Structure 1
Amino acid sequence: MATYVVGDLQGCLDPLTALLEKAGFSVEGDRLWVVGDLVNRGPQSVDVLRFLRSLGFAVTAVLGNHDLYLLALAAGLPPKDKLGDTIQPVLDAPDRDVLMDWLRGLPLMHAEGAWAMVHAGLLPQWSVPQALGLAEEVAENLRGDNWRGFLLELFGNKPTQWGESLSGWDRYRIVINAMTRMRFITPEGVLELKPKGPPENAPEGLIPWYSAANAAWRTHTILCGHWSALGLRDMGHVVALDSGCVWGGKLSMLRLEDRSVFQVDCPACSLPGGSD
């Protein structure tokens, strides 16, 4: 049995099925981990959700920012009409409710052995066990009867700094923003959500989240996506897997047992520009 971890799909099913075939993935014996952003911008968001759901216990996926945005739209959030969004076909699908129930049952974070998977990253103050507990607090609300009301309160950029005393919406919001949107922080671990460029061009006073000294999560190797400008990078303590499939780049997958990398090109998913 092998465990494969694939980067951001963003509605690109054909590259995923080609990549699984290339790696020799077996649904009967292997496992597939997905780092989030299953939907949006690509042309096959509905098909991606249906395919992953069909894999049953063979798949383990975490939520990304695009997935939460889809759930919020399903909950009644007015759409932002962003150029390039391709979410509406999911909302119009006859099995929409089944797909939304499956999606909101996914966690923000998953950990096994020495590995931990999250869409964007972890704040340096958080150990992996603490982060898993915080992710579960959010998951309980997403699985609950009031999931619609919960999602409609979550969008916003504040607070920007973690504190044990945070509660309610402030607590949930910073957990979600860190785990699904974060790229840069201050050396003290304060979130800065606006910059999106490559880590080499970090704005003055900011560092990539994974560069924080003495981060409590360093007991594990973090598997993440979200940052297409970062690309595929195995940095030892962090493996970044978003290699820009939806922007005409590649879809990347890591086999955990030997850290082998598998890639396929994504021309059919190519969109102009380049943004997460």
Structure 2
Amino acid sequence: MATYAVGDIQGCLEPLLHLLEQIGFDPKVDKLWVAGDLINRGPQSLETLRFIRSLGDAAVVVLGNHDLSFLAVAEGFQPMRDGDTVEEIIRASDCEELCHWLRQQKLVHHDEALAYTMVHAGIPPQWSIKKALRRSAEVEDVLQDEERYQDFLLNMFGSEPRVWHKNLKGHDRLRIITNYFTRMRFCDNDGQLEFQAKSGPDAAPKGFGPWYKIKQRKASNDRIIFGHWAALQGHADAENVFALDTGCVWGGSLTIMCLEDQTLYSCACD
């Protein structure tokens, strides 16, 4: 039995299947953690979604920004953007079932026995893992609520507020929690977000740094798996953080890590 984690698939199913064959993945005994952005931009978004769902309990999924954006598009709250590849899902006969399945997934996953936490973008410096799990549960509860999830998706988009405060309420509170977990790259020491820069960590805007390099980050002793940041090319210069987005959909590679021994397996994406 082994547990593997994979970075942003984004609809690139063939490289994923190649890697799973390479490592001898067996869904009867093994687990596959997926660090968000299962779909969009790649050529097989519908097939990827169906495949991950078919793994049942063998798949552990956290949602990424592309997954949440798709849910908003499917509800008619957001138009498709240039380069989106989710129209096939929306036209599919099982679209409603796939959307419902996506809404049941987490924003943060923590395994006490393995001592790993997985999130799509990152954990803000002011939150411990315990607090991050409490905050993620707030959004997960709304997403899974048949009476509230549409209102959340309708009001999810936006970059304000940019910093957490415990007194935040309503859509502002849910929005910044979601942005931390699914959009964050750079922030300042207080956890204030910077959304414009998408390049590597050496090009951090003045006053900001990669979230995982912030001094006195409360989760610095916890092992965190994340994706989202293709410009890192799988390398985060900090202990206990594992960057798994290696830019498959951008002509890079897809990367899987075995959690037990941290061995990396990669497949080039043509």
Q: What is the correspondence of 1:180-199 to structure 2 with a 5 Å cutoff? A: 180-199=182-201
Equivalence for 2:63: 63
Query: Hey, what's the Cα distance between the residues in 1 that align with 2:249 and 2:87?
Result: 17
Q: 1:252-271: CA deviations, max 9, x gaps?
A: 0100100000000110xxxx
Q: What amino acid is the match of 2:246?
A: S
DSSP-derived class of the 1:252 partner? strand
* 1:9–1:37 CA contact under 8 A, matched in 2: yes
Equivalence for 2:260: 257
Equivalence for 2:91: 92
Q: 1:62-100: CA deviations, max 9, x gaps?
A: 000000000011122131x42211111111111001100
Equivalence for 2:109: 110
Query: Hey, what's the Cα distance between the residues in 1 that align with 2:247 and 2:127?
Result: 28
Query: Hey, what's the Cα distance between the residues in 2 that align with 1:124 and 1:97?
Result: 36
Query: Hey, what's the Cα distance between the residues in 1 that align with 2:210 and 2:43?
Result: 31
- Say how many residue pairs are matched: 266
* 2:5–2:32 CA contact under 8 A, matched in 1: yes
Equivalence for 1:207: 209
Query: Hey, what's the Cα distance between the residues in 1 that align with 2:195 and 2:84?
Result: 20
Query: What is the aligned counterpart of 1:239 among 217, 239, 242?
Result: 242
Task: Give structure 1 stretches of 5+ with no counterpart.
Answer: 268-276
- CA drift at 1:61: 0.6
Query: Hey, what's the Cα distance between the residues in 2 that align with 1:6 and 1:232?
Result: 11
Query: Hey, what's the Cα distance between the residues in 2 that align with 1:63 and 1:11?
Result: 14
Query: What is the aligned counterpart of 2:170 among 168, 171, 194?
Result: 168
* 2:126–2:190 CA contact under 8 A, matched in 1: no
Equivalence for 2:226: 224
Query: Hey, what's the Cα distance between the residues in 1 that align with 2:144 and 2:137?
Result: 10
The answer to whether 1:144 aligns with 2:145 is yes
Q: What amino acid is the match of 1:26?
A: D
Equivalence for 1:119: 120
Query: Hey, what's the Cα distance between the residues in 2 that align with 1:201 and 1:148?
Result: 37
Q: CA RMSD in A?
A: 1.0
Q: What amino acid is the match of 1:166?
A: L
* 1:7–1:34 CA contact under 8 A, matched in 2: yes
| 4+ aligned runs moved over 3 Å, structure 1 | none
Q: 1:14-52: CA deviations, max 9, x gaps?
A: 010001111111111100000000010001000011000
Query: Hey, what's the Cα distance between the residues in 2 that align with 1:167 and 1:148?
Result: 18
Task: Give structure 2 stretches of 5+ with no counterpart.
Answer: none
- Provide TM-score, normalisation by structure 1: 0.94
Q: 1:110-167: CA deviations, max 9, x gaps?
A: 0012211000001111110110111111011101113112210111000011111111
DSSP-derived class of the 2:178 partner? helix
DSSP-derived class of the 1:33 partner? strand
Query: Hey, what's the Cα distance between the residues in 1 that align with 2:190 and 2:119?
Result: 21
Identity %: 48
Q: What is the correspondence of 1:120-135 to structure 2 with a 5 Å cutoff? A: 120-135=121-136
Q: What amino acid is the match of 2:48?
A: V
Query: Hey, what's the Cα distance between the residues in 2 that align with 1:244 and 1:78?
Result: 25
Q: Which moved more, 1:81-90 or 1:195-204?
A: 81-90
* 1:108–1:139 CA contact under 8 A, matched in 2: yes
DSSP-derived class of the 2:232 partner? coil
- Provide TM-score, normalisation by structure 2: 0.96
DSSP-derived class of the 1:216 partner? coil
